[in-house]
């Protein structure tokens, strides 16, 4: 990514889900994040839910698909997402 991130909400908990929103200057940068995170999470046991909101904001959600709350698997994915965002 090319540094077009303009805002980041940081992580928050919503029940047993971790949620983070990241805003970009344009749609292309939002799509680039979704593609990069998809590739980065491919070798992971968990994958983030990703939704483009409006045209430039990406909402990320990490939840346990077995409804067992936040476990180490979700925290590993959170760290991987953070690393991708920190590198952008």
Rounded average pLDDT over 16-41: 91
CA distance 53 to 88: 19
**Does residue 27 contact residue 56 with C-beta atoms inside 8 Å?**
yes
Total domains present in the chain: 1
Output the pTM of the full model. Answer: 0.85
**Does residue 58 contact residue 52 with C-beta atoms inside 8 Å?**
yes
* Terminal C-alpha separation, the chain: 5
Which pLDDT score is estimated for 44? 67
Which domain does 68 fall in, by range? 5-87
Rounded average pLDDT over 21-31: 94
Task: Tell me the CATH number at 55.
Answer: 3.30.1360.20
For the chain, percent of residues with pLDDT exceeding 70: 92
pLDDT band at 57 (very low <50, low <70, confident <90, very high): very high
- Residue 29 — φ and ψ, nearest 5°? -70, -35
């Amino acid at each position: 990514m090319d540094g077009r991130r303009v805002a980041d909400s940081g992580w928050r908990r919503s029940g047993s889900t971790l949620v983070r929103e990241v805003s970009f200057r344009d749609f292309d940068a939002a799509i680039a994040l979704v593609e990069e995170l998809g590739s980065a999470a491919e070798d992971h046991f968990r994958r983030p839910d990703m939704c483009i909101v409006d045209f430039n904001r990406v909402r990320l959600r990490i939840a346990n698909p077995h409804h067992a709350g936040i476990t180490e698997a979700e925290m590993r994915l959170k760290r991987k997402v953070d690393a991708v965002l920190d590198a952008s």
